[in-house]
Amino acid sequence: MATLRTLSHILYALYAFSPFTGGLAGIVALIIDYVRRPAMRGTVYLSHSVWRTRTFWWTLVGSVVGWSMFWNHFGAGLLFVVSIWYIYRCVKGWLRLLESKPVLGRWF
């Protein structure tokens, strides 16, 4: 269990630093999350894995839409909202992990 906890901290760190690596750290974390997910079944860490992967995919979707519409103010606003949402989800998930609690909720 301690190794899953440590792994979860590492994965949150990778996701948190992903914007500074052009998304590469997030892709690495996503792959590790999917590979290690079976070992997380029946633990609080599974909810964190689901939380992180959903955060990645929805951030990617929001970013693609935002960048494709960047020529108008809607795209820039969407990118801002997606960025704030991403930071919020990384912080909320990591704080719940520090408390050894599962992440509850789908969007917030």
- What's the pLDDT tens digit per position in 85-102? 999 999 999 999 999 999
Residue 108 is assigned to a structural domain of this protein: no
Does the pLDDT value for residue 107 go beyond 80? no
Residue 8 is assigned to a structural domain of this protein: yes
Residue 88 is assigned to a structural domain of this protein: yes
- Calpha distance 44→51 (Å, rounded): 11
**Domain containing 20: what range?**
2-98
Percent of the chain residues past pLDDT 70, beyond the cut? 97
At residue 71, the 3 state secondary structure works out as coil
Give the closest residue to 85 by CA, choosing from 46, 44, 48, 54: 54
- pLDDT band of residue 78 (cuts 50, 70, 90) is very high
Averaged over 16-36, what is the pLDDT?
A: 97
Q: Are 16 and 90 in contact (CB under 8 A)?
A: yes
Structure-token match 């494709």, residue found = 68
Buried b (16+ CB within 10 A) or exposed e, 68-78: eeeeeeeeeeb
Residue 104 is assigned to a structural domain of this protein: no
> In the chain, how many domains are there?
1
Q: What are phi and psi of 95, to 5 degrees?
A: -65, -40
Residue 21 is assigned to a structural domain of this protein: yes
